[in-house]
A and B are shown apart, each in its own frame.
Chain A
Amino acid sequence: DAGVTQSPTHLIKTRGQHVTLRCSPISGHKSVSWYQQVLGQGPQFIFQYYEKEERGRGNFPDRFSARQFPNYSSELNVNALLLGDSALYLCASSQQGDVAEPQHFGDGTRLSIL
């Protein structure tokens, strides 16, 4: 079975632009979460969605937004990009989004801001 898939794998943008990252969860998984990982640090939580509803939001500015589609795939949007947004953006999925469930990660989108 396919794992979590993310696209694109790499992306280069300039300051002020916007970007859309995409994620397809593991088949049968209904919950998707987004994380930002800066080099040398652990992933930081951005959003969690379950059945198209936002369940949680981390300490990120309103420039970050996301949504989940009826097929459970998800998009992360970032507007007005800053140099500090350069990072690996990870998507994770789980079956029900229950607090005790493990989350399974994709290999991420490497975003570089020039």
Chain B
Amino acid sequence: EDQVTQSPEALRLQEGESSSLNCSYTVSGLRGLFWYRQDPGKGPEFLFTLYSAGEEKEKERLKATLTKKESFLHITAPKPEDSATYLCAVRGSNDYKLSFGAGTTVTVRA
């Protein structure tokens, strides 16, 4: 069964203090690793898809990277509006479901 573990559970940052979130996964035949952002009371918002080890994607202050066992979401010079829960999910071969981790809640103080 697919397993996704995210760490840390919570991260408190000062504005401008860069950091990284970790997503470790076990899946049979990775078909995609997905990062989402979720604000309180809202549904997950799609950020990135990574398909193979070595791949990187960037969007504003966020950069996602992928290895064969884990993915990192780097937040560079974060702002208070980057405060949210970041979710990681994987999809395996012939598996239509997304398997999610529990998320990392990021709080950025001004």
Contact = CB atoms under 8 A, between A and B. Distances in A.
A22 to B, nearest CB: 15
Interface residues of B, number: 28
Contacts of B93: 99
A63 B43 CA distance: 24
Interface residues of A, number: 26
A106 B103 contact: no
Interface of B: 4, 31-32, 34, 36, 41-46, 49, 51, 87, 89, 91-103
3 smallest beta-carbon distances between A and B, as pairs: A42-B100, A45-B97, A105-B43
Nearest to B39: A107
B42 A99 contact: no
Interface centre among B43, B45, B94, by most chain A C-beta atoms within 10 angstroms, is B43
B98 A100 contact: no
